């Protein structure tokens, strides 16, 4: 096992980055690492000749007032151990003052695609996400960056930002990693009791129920029927969108759900095939 080098300042990152000419892969996280995060880093390590840098930064800009910024799980030493065991080369763990020395000034607006779904409930969230991702790209200059499909809207918006702002980085989406029960892995699952974790499986089961059908109406009806059968799941949205979050189309689409179970608000999604609009 090679020890992961821990970097805490932008100057340190740039000094180490300067010594690498091959593929340089960035895996941004907020820590509290689980098997889903580690699968993203493992994907980076599969790229021939790649140097992999993870980041651990709980980004205050993507949390609105009253959200769980202070309570968000923080397990930094454990996270470093997991990354070292995997063979990740670097982990960048900056203080908030290192990333935002002047507080909140310049931000990146996500456009219309950031105002629906998650953006409808959390209108400032994606501006915070895109701003910190842009900063991390500028600091680390990656050739590749890997993000999980569990936060599907985030992945779409990061790809949009890269295209619209002419960034020279390849964005790779990593498949959702699930518990044995089918529950999508999330750092916020730590908030769930055993009973709530069992109830939260309704999200993935609703998506699976929808995926058994091929018309838009039947997909949504089946998914809604399953989530409605679990009273502990307080549904925020259940929507069928095209892969770029537009209106459903014939072919592959994405079925997305958000619901609160107990304390945490949980997200999930899956690809579904539509034959009839």
Q: Report DSSP letters for 240-254, one per residue.
A: EE-TTSSS--SEEEE
Which pLDDT value is given to residue 267? 98
Structure tokens at 20: 């690498």
Mind listing the pLDDT tens digit of every residue in the chain (277 residues)?
578 999 999 999 999 999 999 999 999 999 999 999 999 999 999 999 999 999 999 999 999 887 888 888 899 999 999 999 999 999 999 999 999 999 989 999 999 999 999 999 999 999 999 999 999 999 999 999 999 999 999 999 999 999 999 999 999 999 999 999 999 999 999 999 999 999 999 999 999 999 999 999 999 999 999 999 999 999 999 999 999 999 999 999 999 999 999 999 999 999 999 998 8
Given the DSSP bridges, would you call strands 265-274 and 24-29 parallel, antiparallel or unpaired?
unpaired
Structure tokens at 114: 């950031």
Known binding-site residue numbers: 30-37, 62, 148-151, 154, 177, 185-188
Which CATH number is 187-270 given?
3.30.1300.10
Which pLDDT value is given to residue 1? 55
Given the DSSP bridges, would you call strands 251-261 and 90-92 parallel, antiparallel or unpaired?
unpaired
pTM greater than the 0.85 cutoff:
yes
Nearest C-alpha neighbor of 143 from the set 57, 48, 11: 48
Known binding-site residue numbers for ATP: 30-37, 148-151, 177, 185-188
CATH 3.30.470.20 fits 5-174, yes or no: no
**Would you list the domain boundaries of the chain?**
5-174, 187-270
Residue located via tokens 């990146």: 108
Distances (CA, A) of 264 to 95, 163, 193, 197, 259: 25, 33, 11, 11, 9
Q: Is 16 a catalytic residue?
A: no
Instruction: Give me the torsion for CA of 134, 119, 265, 203, rounded to 10°.
Output: -110
Known binding-site residue numbers for beta-alanine: 62
Known binding-site residue numbers for (R)-pantoate: 62, 154
User: In three state form, how does the secondary structure of 130-156 look?
Assistant: HHHHHHHHHHHCCCEEEEEHHHHHHHH
Which pLDDT value is given to residue 66? 79
Alpha-carbon 125 to chain mean position:
12
Distances (CA, A) of 114 to 7, 30, 99, 127, 250: 32, 20, 23, 8, 23
Exactly one of 37, 125, 144, 213 is catalytic; name it. 37
Q: Whole-angstrom Cα distance, residue 110 to residue 131? A: 9
Distances (CA, A) of 214 to 6, 178, 206, 237, 242: 48, 24, 15, 20, 14
Q: Max alpha carbon distance in the chain (Å)? A: 56
Q: Whole-angstrom Cα distance, residue 268 to residue 265? A: 10
């Amino acid at each position: 096992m090679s020890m992961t080098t821990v970097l805490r300042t932008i100057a340190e990152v740039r000094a180490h980055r300067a010594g690498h000419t091959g593929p340089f892969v960035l895996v941004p996280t907020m820590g509290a690492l689980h098997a889903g995060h580690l699968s993203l880093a493992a994907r980076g390590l599969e790229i021939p000749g790649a140097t992999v840098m993870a980041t651990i930064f709980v980004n205050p800009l993507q949390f609105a007032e009253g959200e769980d910024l202070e309570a968000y799980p923080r397990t930094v030493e454990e996270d470093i151990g997991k990354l070292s065991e995997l063979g990740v080369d670097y982990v960048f763990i900056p203080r908030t003052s290192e990333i935002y020395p002047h507080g909140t000034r310049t931000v990146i607006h996500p456009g219309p695609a950031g105002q629906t779904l998650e953006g409808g409930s959390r209108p400032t969230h994606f501006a915070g996400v895109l701003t910190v991702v842009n900063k991390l790209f500028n600091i680390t200059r990656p050739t590749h960056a890997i993000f999980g499909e569990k936060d599907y809207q985030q992945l779409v918006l990061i790809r949009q930002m890269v295209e619209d702002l002419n960034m020279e980085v390849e964005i790779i989406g990593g498949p959702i990693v699930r518990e044995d029960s089918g529950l999508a892995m999330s750092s916020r699952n730590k908030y769930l009791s055993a009973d709530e974790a069992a109830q939260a499986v309704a999200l993935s089961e609703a998506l699976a129920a929808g995926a058994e059908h091929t018309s838009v109406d039947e997909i949504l009806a089946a998914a809604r029927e399953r989530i409605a059968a679990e009273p502990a799941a307080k549904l925020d949205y259940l929507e069928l969108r095209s892969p770029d979050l537009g209106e459903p189309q014939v072919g592959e689409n994405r079925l997305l759900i958000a619901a609160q179970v107990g304390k945490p608000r949980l997200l999930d999604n899956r690809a579904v095939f539509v034959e009839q609009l």
